[in-house]
Amino acid sequence: MIIGQYNYNLDPKKRLTIPTKFRGVLGDGAVLTRGIDGCLFLYPQKQWNELADKLSKLPLSQSNARSFARVMLAGAMDVKLDSLGRILIPDYLKEYAQLDKKVVIAGLYDRVEIWDEERWQKYGQTTDAQVGDIADGLKELGI
């Protein structure tokens, strides 16, 4: 399970250190891709394979399904952690997530989200009322 929030810096060579706690789950390799809400998703290989399989089964006749599959699959890149636990963020993904020097790495059970720190702070400025509304909406999902 991948949980927790950590602050790191993206170095000048576009390398990002992955928290030690997450490295064992990511193993020798993982997949980095465009995320939702302006972040990047980093998946352990097993979870990525499961997601990619589901995406490949989406109906080609639906434009939303085609678009989402393109965003996730075409934007994906295999990454390996180096001996210091860092991954290289390619330019197109760095630009997509508007990553600057300060980065937030958040564990969300089966994936890691990588956010520009300023964007993360703006996203996290959810009011108590908004959290309540979100929770009410999740009741129909049994949460």
Which pLDDT tens digit goes with each residue over 2-38?
999 999 999 999 999 999 999 999 987 899 999 999 9
Which pLDDT tens digit goes with each residue over 94-133?
999 999 999 999 999 999 999 999 999 988 766 555 666 6
> Using the 8-state DSSP alphabet, how is residue 73 labeled?
I
**pTM for this prediction:** 0.87
Domains of the chain, each with CATH number or no CATH: 2-117 (3.40.1550.20)
pLDDT at 124: 77
Q: In angstroms, how far is CA 21 from the centroid of its own chain? A: 16
From the number of C-beta atoms within 10 Å of its C-beta (0-12, 13-18, 19+), residue 44 rates as: buried
> Using the 8-state DSSP alphabet, how is residue 119 labeled?
H
Which pLDDT tens digit goes with each residue over 29-52?
899 999 999 999 999 999 999 999
pLDDT at 1: 86
